[in-house]
A and B are shown apart, each in its own frame.
Chain A
Amino acid sequence: AQSVTQPDIHITVSEGASLELRCNYSYGATPYLFWYVQSPGQGLQLLLKYFSGDTLVQGIKGFEAEFKRSQSSFNLRKPSVHWSDAAEYFCAVGAGIHKLSFGAGTTVTVRA
């Protein structure tokens, strides 16, 4: 069965600083990988996805993620965070066409 681990429960970062959120997955085949963001009281918004091809994927809001098969990782990065990036971030792996397995999430706090 597939699983996703987000090692960091909570990260605090200064506005303008870089951000990296870690995600490790366990899956026997080529994974479909996603990052979602959830702002307070909101649903999940897809930031970016990896299906195949270029291992560095660009997403919305200036985010990018890199798939590293050798490390079973799909870390999310942003070079310069904005206060509006404060939210909870979820990494997910799609196994089969219909089921996403999510990590526990990482809460990002942005300080001025």
Chain B
Amino acid sequence: GAGVSQSPSNKVTEKGKDVELRCDPISGHTALYWYRQSLGQGLEFLIYFQGNSAPDKSGLPSDRFSAERTGGSVSTLTIQRTQQEDSAVYLCASSSVGTGNSYEQYFGPGTRLTVT
């Protein structure tokens, strides 16, 4: 079946602009995760959704970052007033919680964000 999809695949934006990154999880997966992959920082957890609620936002680096999920499906990660240090690949993953595979996260291809 279809995997996790993310859009856009690449985004170039000017410093100070807002950007929205989209994630479509695997159908039926109730859990959704955002990670950031950047040089020197590796892969960092950002936020976790269970359904439409986010019980763990501890990885969001600043209040310029926010995320929402609607209908228990699509999620949007928004970065306001982008800074050059926000340049990274943003990865989304989903999993089915409540089964034996609840720790098995499936990743999308990522969105490469470049802030100029």
Report which A residues bind B (CB closer than 8 A): 32, 34, 36, 41-46, 49, 51, 90, 92, 94, 97-105
Contact B42 A98 (CB under 8 A): no
Cα separation A36 to B108 with both chains bound (whole Å): 13
Cα separation A88 to B108 with both chains bound (whole Å): 16
Q: Give chain B residues whose Cβ lies under 8 Å from the Cβ of A41.
A: 109
Contact A43 B107 (CB under 8 A): yes
Chain B interface bracket (under 10, 10 to 19, 20 to 34, 35 or more): 20 to 34
Q: Known contacts A99-B48, A102-B43; is A32 also within 8 Å of B91 by CB?
A: no
Name the distance in Å between B34's Cβ and chain A's nearest Cβ: 11
Contact B42 A51 (CB under 8 A): no
Chain A binding surface SS class: strand
Q: What are 5 sample pairs from A and B whose C-beta atoms fall under 8 A apart? A: A34-B103, A46-B105, A94-B103, A98-B56, A102-B43
Ranked 5 nearest A-B pairs via Cβ: A102-B43, A98-B48, A43-B107, A44-B107, A43-B109
Cα separation A63 to B109 with both chains bound (whole Å): 22
Name the distance in Å between B109's Cβ and chain A's nearest Cβ: 4
